[in-house]
Structure 1
């Protein structure tokens, strides 16, 4: 019996089913996103501006004309002339600049050095030489004060005589005073003030109301330069009692405008009754801006008296001004009492106050009379106004 051959076994493995074909559905979110993106892309491509066509070259005969050879030549000539003018002006400007620097150095050299000890009453340098001259001190006193570093508290012999009412003149020459011994000229005192135009300072200009035009100093800019000026009218207490100060102020302002002087403000003051001093102090404190303050004016206009009134008013609130009252400038009826700048520590917030020599003017009465007659020129009481009848009306 034949045996049957075994049949081979065939193992069949089931094929993995193919992934279903993804058909986008209108309800599927990915389909919506893809559609929206494609829609936006088409919209953007449709809204994008089409590239502008390149400008076509201008037609013949249209457009700016090319410069001719004549225009080019003229431009070169003008440029060469401008360069030559600049080169020609450069030496003149350099010479002017050198002249100004030389003038400034010369003026600053006349400024009293800070290390020189001066009399606090008149500003004259202290010395032990000629007796009776401004600044003279006895040798023993000078040596003692110098040993203790107290030369700033020394009063010279001339100032002691002036403080007791003696009429001791010291200024001679053009605009000076005859009689007595003359130690310095009026021109030398003016030269001592020439450095002010190169300083950054606040100028307080004093004018005597009794002699307004005579003491005005029309050429104050020769001393003050471009520094700001505060105008102070002194001795208003000598005006008649029924004087309207508002009218006086308006008249002063009109006179200042007529004289073509630019000032920050105008103040009517009296050093004796302290009228208006507070307003001047407020103006100085506001405008000085850490600068030094210089009191300028013609001779015998009342600068030293004004400084004393300022220190007295400021002493109530400023301890520095209160301490400065002990060594303040000497007041005298003699024109030319102050012979040099006097430095005063008067401000708590910085800056110094300077009393300066008066500018001597030859046309004033005090410059042509004897020294013994000077007190008769200074009024001691209020002036009395008088009205004179109009001659034309009376004759008519």
Structure 2
């Protein structure tokens, strides 16, 4: 027995949501979250045997994302995402706060406690498999805990993992098992593209044996509203939209070049010996003048396809203006080619990290002058590795 037209209409009036992004289905405004052609939507619903049947349906945006790797812009701004996160502060909940171990500064949420109140935090460092194999989990966990403390975040526990690995769901559940029964809601929060939905898909697989049900992609801004997944009879896990950080490098380049920013395998670090008067070009994304008076040593951690070109400071500006997009690839979009210039000094055992791109570890103290797109975030921190 299939549903009648009245039952289908009632379901639509009650509101049903896309299993991929959590947006409520609608058929009136294409380009707005939850859009699906009315004929397709009604046809699917009418094929159900009961109004209580699970609705495993994707909106047009999620369908294209899942099957064709195509992302479409949506009519939500960061204020919408922030309002969703702010509601956490009114609840008694556990917060799983995901950060990207390859982009820690760029993936931290400024003023997190503003959104989550006094709720306890388990800090989850994702993409551990991207770091060199010689790095130990406990060392990274200790370093990450200190970085969070510097941001005013006190954590119950720090967990380091790789969300796209098959045992990550089981591993995380074991690590937080002492806290699960204390809370009815466990919120997963983080910036876009940090791996929240990937991790929750692994949790779903662990507790139910089902495959991925939440849309994931290499593009920022996939989950548009809260998605709730039962964990136990008492507790549910809630995936939230990512806060969009427009100060990450991904917002300064063409989407076809995202592959240069998002490593999917171990990053091969390279150590450079730099003499006085040398500059390093970060492909066509900008460059750094090294103002040291003697030879220094730095180690570079960037996606393996990013080419670092060495040159002379006096020729740097001319080379960049003539070769960005040619010899120097990938490059920033034309509207960001006018670079900001700033001079800072790094100490030995400090990182100069560029949001959404990578970092240099300084083994000797040295002043530098960087030339990067205006608005791109950077940070100076104790060495991560």
TM interval, short-chain normalised: 0.5 to 0.7
Counterpart of 1:166?
69
Select 2:17's aligned residue among 95, 99, 118: 118
Contact map agreement 2:23 2:34 (CA 8 A) in 1:
yes
Larger radius of gyration: 1
Q: Call closer, same or farther: CA 1:152–1:275 in 2, change over 3 Å.
A: closer
Find the aligned partners of 1:161 and 1:118 in 2 and give their Cα distance: 17
Alignment of 1:46-61 (within 5 A): none
Query: Residue 344 of structure 1 aligns with which residue?
Result: 229
Within the candidate set 302, 305, 308, 2:201 is matched to: 308
**How far does residue 267 in structure 1 lie from its aligned partner after superposition?**
0.6
Counterpart among 204, 221, 225 of residue 113 in structure 2: 221
Runs of 5+ consecutive residues of structure 1 not aligned to the other structure = 1-113, 171-181, 316-320
Shift of 1:218: 3.4
Picking from 39, 51, 74, the partner of 1:140 is 39
Could you state the TM-score of these two structures normalised by the residue count of structure 2? 0.62
Q: 2-side partners of 1:125 and 1:283: how far apart?
A: 33
**Runs of 5+ unmatched residues, structure 2:** 1-12, 276-292, 297-385
Count of aligned pairs: 263
Q: TM-score scaled to structure 1, two decimals? A: 0.61
Could you say if the C-alpha distance between residues 240 and 357 of structure 1 is closer, same or farther in structure 2, counting changes exceeding 3 Å? Answer: same
Q: 1:299 aligns with which of 179, 185, 192?
A: 192
Alignment-derived partner of residue 255 in structure 2: 371
Query: Is the CA contact 2:204–2:212 (under 8 Å) kept in the aligned structure 1?
Result: no
Relative to structure 1, the CA distance from residue 115 to residue 196 in structure 2 (aligned partners, 3 Å threshold; closer, same or farther) is farther
C-alpha spacing 1:290/1:247, structure 2 compared with 1 (3 Å): closer
Q: Which is richer in strand? A: 2
Q: Tell me the SS of whatever aligns to 1:214.
A: helix
Q: Distance in 2 between matches of 1:157 and 1:279?
A: 34
Encode CA deviations 1:120-170: one digit per residue, 9 max, x unaligned.
101111011133543122223322444443573211111111012433132
**Aligned with 2:105: secondary structure?**
coil
Residue among 196, 210, 214 paired with 1:329: 214
Q: Superposed, which structure 2 residues align to 1:1-396 within 5 Å?
A: 115-147=14-46, 148=48, 149=51, 150=53, 152-170=55-73, 182-274=74-166, 277-288=169-180, 289-312=182-205, 314-315=206-207, 321-322=208-209, 325=210, 328-345=213-230, 347-389=231-273, 394=295
How far 1:351 moved relative to its partner?
Answer: 1.6
- The CA deviation string for residues 300-354 of structure 1, in whole angstroms up to 9 with x for no partner, is 1011111112222x23xxxxx33xx356211111100111111122x23322111
Between 1 and 2, higher relative CO (CA 8 Å, sep ≥ 6) is seen in 1
Shift of 1:272: 2.2
Counterpart secondary structure, 2:271: coil
Q: What is the root-mean-square deviation of aligned Cα atoms in Å?
A: 2.5
Please state how far the C-alpha of 1:355 moved relative to its aligned partner: 1.1
Residues in 1 aligned to 2:55 and 2:92: alpha-carbon distance in whole angstroms = 25
Aligned to 1:42: none
